[in-house]
Amino acid sequence: MTTARPRVLAVDDDRTVLTALLGGLSRAGFDVVVATNADEALRVAADTRPALAVLDLTMGGGRGLDVAASLAREAHTPFLLLVPVRDEQEMRRRAASLGALGVVAKPVDMTRLVPAIRAALARVEAGADVPPGAGARAVADAIGGDHGPQELIALGILVERHKVNCDEAVRILHERANAAGLAIEEVALALIEQAEGASRPPV
């Protein structure tokens, strides 16, 4: 029996970036659909019903938040935002207010983006009892989605590595932090660095 590949909508007005997202996410096992602007994104979302959208904040002169808000409001599509690393802290706050399920710094690194997408999808699945049309923010609220971007990526790594759901990944992350006497953020960073091949002691 073949398991359906999760459908992800990638939205960017830079076709070079869009091609890289299409190739990288397809190789990672996602069914990828693409759009280059807000109108096209809404049409594609309505036609294909993606599980998640990944949007570049800087598209259209910084209109990524507007596009994300439209997708959440009109197509009820949860989303992740790609943001320039220099703007990550400020955009994390603004993105959270719109209900983003995560923020990933640019330039895009698939070793960070893919686990973040998997973690976001696990959170959407965990919030499957949220009424249709409630939007991404309600999904995040329903499952206690107060995770910073590093913790979100670490949860995605655990979901992928251990084939568990997001709640179980949260439990594993907290158990490791308690056992090591470290903050959650420190354990999350160590997991990310391990996944990227960094020489940090295992946690």
Among residues 16, 10, 14, which one has the least CA distance to residue 45? 10
Other Cβ atoms within 10 Å of 30 Cβ, number = 24
What's residue 10's pLDDT? 94
What's residue 199's pLDDT? 35
What's residue 189's pLDDT? 81
What's residue 198's pLDDT? 44
**Cα–Cα distance measured from residue 147 to residue 186, given in angstroms and rounded to the nearest whole number:** 13
Q: Which CATH number fits domain 7-143: 3.40.190.10, 3.40.50.2300, 3.40.250.10, 3.90.230.10?
A: 3.40.50.2300
Asked if residues 75 and 46 have their Cβ atoms less than 8 Å apart, the reply is yes
Contacts within 8 Å (CB) and 24+ apart, 102-105: 102/147, 102/149, 102/152, 102/153, 103/149, 104/80, 104/149, 104/153, 105/149
What's residue 30's pLDDT? 93
Among residues 106, 107, 49, 114, which one has the least CA distance to residue 78? 49
**Ordered mean pLDDT values, 10 residues apiece, the chain (203 residues):** 77 88 91 90 91 85 75 83 72 69 82 85 63 39 51 72 74 86 84 60 44
Structure tokens at 57: 């904040």
**Cα–Cα distance measured from residue 196 to residue 10, given in angstroms and rounded to the nearest whole number:** 23
